[in-house]
């Protein structure tokens, strides 16, 4: 029998829900995303910017988005309009000087209120799709745009960082542009977040020319140039979606996460067995996100949105708003590398609205904001509070130890193997409460491990000094330069390029350009 879940959305697909034994709202979500994929192809083919006015493209994108929201969530979709409408009114009434603060507080507060209502009144503990998911993306868009308008229309040019100057919006959007940005059919159900300027550039048909200009460094761009096709990128991403979904549907039944807190398993299994199962069970939970985010990315690409430029081989890159890099996630050798490649657009949002603007403890503030934005399950807060410790401790370890292992390729390979194992263990340990959700099972999980990694992180922070990034990067540059000379003394130019690359990596850690940070690692 199908899993029963209360829904206010359409019940037309109830037979499909019963056949696949899935909640009706999850079936609605997947079918609507597949419909959005077809609509995106139609939108790019028949409502291309060269054939249709900007007004029509905005109208169609908005109306299709609201229809999909209504199909999935019924009258709960009104929350999307209420949140967007009130935020737009705040921007008009308050003005550019303070709109970013009021919009941030209102949008995040309204989202939190809806999450509290959904979790503690309706369906606590359900993993099914819910209306607060799209509201999380809309909250990101509302707050991002408010900060971008504040930067573009109030702050002085010299006060802005590189990324703030790039993203700054110089005029107030119309109500239609605002609703189209927040509620378009390509991103209303699963995102991902994109900047307002990128979205408007796409709707107006200037994204290809703009990216060519950025890549080639030329001002004059001919509009008759052929636009690259996203078909190859879309097909590749759909293949990833199908593979991820099949893995998730089978692996989660074989490797349930809550078995990590089974009394019999905790008392009888050996430590290596428990470590292996913890890693595999959390590994099996990730394809759900791979499926949803990759499908959302494919939908935007199918509509012609997401063109990033060309790679070194001249192939078009369709990863402007990609939300993850699976290979980098699964082979992460540091906690930071995992975070930088997981839910990329959310990480950039946190960086732009919090980390870069925080007056004190930016890491702590960013993790707390992430916890509040994700929802009100206690497991979320346990995960992100643990994540603060993990991040600070991992940073200390890396800055104090890593440069000692760059002397030769063999030592570096051994170091990477050890850090990969440690990173996967740390990630699994940290995010287990995120999946378990409630306080009791989450604390039971940590207590069954005797809070070992919490203790280890605190010990690292107390013992190891907090070395500056600049100092460790200089040491890394020196070691890498001498390593390159040992490998091949003849290739002096090659060594110079390696040294330059390390300097760039060091600068990237301090850079505020969000476009460069999406390509990092």
**Please, where are the H alpha helices in 351-449?**
362-374, 378-401, 409-436, 439-448
DSSP, residue by residue, 202-263 = HHTT-HHHHHHHHHHT-S---TTSPPPP-HHHHHHHHHHHHHHHHHHHHHHHHS-GGGGG-H
Pairing of strands 309-310, 316-317: antiparallel
Three-state DSSP state, 513: coil
CA 167 to chain centroid, in Å, comes to 18
Active site residue 404: no
Alpha-carbon gap, residue 261 to 264, rounded angstroms = 9
Evaluate whether 142 touches 103 at the Cβ level (below 8 Å).
Answer: yes
Q: Catalytic one among 182, 343, 396, 399?
A: 343
Task: Tell me the CA end-to-end span of the chain in Å, nearest whole number.
Answer: 45
Evaluate whether 120 touches 376 at the Cβ level (below 8 Å).
Answer: yes
Burial label, 442 (beta-carbon count in 10 A; 0-12, 13-18, 19+): buried
Evaluate whether 138 touches 183 at the Cβ level (below 8 Å).
Answer: yes
Q: Look-up: residue for tokens 């996967």?
A: 424
Active site residue 504: no
Evaluate whether 29 touches 10 at the Cβ level (below 8 Å).
Answer: no
Q: Catalytic one among 100, 150, 374, 454?
A: 374
Alpha-carbon gap, residue 470 to 461, rounded angstroms = 19
Evaluate whether 194 touches 182 at the Cβ level (below 8 Å).
Answer: no
Angle among Cα 204, 210, 214 to the nearest 5 degrees reads 165
Give the other-Cβ count within 10 Å of 200's Cβ.
18
CB within 8 A of 342, min separation 6: which ones?
Answer: 324, 329
Burial label, 303 (beta-carbon count in 10 A; 0-12, 13-18, 19+): buried
Nearest to 183 by CA among 85, 298, 66: 66
Three-state DSSP state, 342: strand
Catalytic machinery residues = 343, 374
């Amino acid at each position: 029998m199908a899993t029963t879940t209360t829904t206010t959305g359409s019940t037309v697909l109830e037979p499909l829900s019963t056949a696949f034994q899935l909640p009706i709202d999850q079936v609605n979500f997947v079918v609507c995303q597949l419909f959005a994929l077809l609509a995106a192809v139609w939108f790019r083919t028949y409502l291309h910017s060269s054939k249709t006015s900007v007004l029509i493209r905005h109208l169609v994108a908005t109306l299709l988005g609201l229809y999909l929201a209504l199909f999935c969530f019924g009258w709960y979709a009104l929350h999307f309009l209420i949140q967007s409408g009130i935020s737009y009114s705040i921007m008009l009434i308050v003005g550019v000087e303070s709109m970013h603060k009021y919009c941030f507080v209102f949008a995040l507060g309204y989202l939190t209120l809806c999450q509290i209502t959904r979790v503690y009144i309706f369906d606590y503990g359900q993993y099914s799709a819910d209306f607060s998911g799209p509201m999380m993306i809309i909250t990101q868009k509302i707050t991002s745009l408010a900060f971008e308008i504040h930067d573009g229309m109030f702050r002085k040019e010299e006060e802005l960082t590189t990324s703030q100057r790039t993203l700054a919006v110089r005029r107030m959007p119309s109500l239609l542009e605002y609703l189209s940005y927040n509620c378009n059919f390509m991103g209303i159900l699963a995102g991902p977040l994109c900047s307002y300027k990128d979205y408007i550039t796409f709707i107006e048909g200037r994204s290809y020319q703009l990216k060519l200009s950025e890549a080639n460094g030329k001002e004059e761009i001919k509009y008759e140039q052929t636009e690259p096709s996203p078909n190859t990128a879309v097909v590749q991403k759909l293949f990833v979606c199908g593979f991820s979904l099949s893995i998730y549907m089978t692996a989660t039944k074989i490797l349930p996460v809550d078995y990590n807190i089974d009394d019999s398993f905790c008392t009888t299994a050996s430590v290596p067995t428990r470590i292996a199962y913890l890693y595999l069970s959390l590994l099996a939970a990730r394809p759900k996100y791979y499926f949803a985010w990759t499908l959302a990315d494919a939908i935007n690409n199918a509509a012609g949105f997401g063109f990033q430029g060309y790679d070194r081989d001249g192939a078009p890159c369709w990863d402007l708003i990609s939300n993850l890099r699976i290979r980098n996630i699964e082979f992460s050798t540091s906690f930071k590398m995992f975070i930088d490649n997981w839910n990329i657009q959310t990480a950039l949002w946190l960086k732009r609205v919090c980390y870069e603007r925080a007056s004190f403890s930016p890491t702590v503030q960013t993790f707390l904001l992430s916890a509040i934005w994700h929802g009100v399950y206690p497991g979320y807060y346990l995960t992100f509070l643990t994540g603060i410790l993990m991040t600070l401790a991992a940073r200390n370890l890396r800055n104090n130890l890593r440069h000692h292992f760059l002397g030769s390729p063999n030592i570096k390979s051994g170091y990477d193997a050890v850090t990969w194992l440690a990173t996967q263990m740390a990630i699994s340990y940290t995010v287990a409460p995120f999946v378990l959700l409630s306080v009791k099972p989450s604390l039971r999980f940590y207590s069954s491990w005797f809070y070992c990694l919490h203790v280890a992180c605190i010990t690292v922070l107390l013992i190891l000094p907090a070395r500056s990034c600049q100092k460790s990067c200089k040491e890394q540059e020196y070691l890498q330069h001498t390593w390159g000379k040992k490998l091949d003394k003849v290739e002096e130019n090659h060594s110079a390029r390696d040294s330059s690359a390390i300097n760039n990596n060091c600068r990237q850690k301090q850079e505020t350009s969000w476009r460069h940070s999406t390509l990092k690692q």
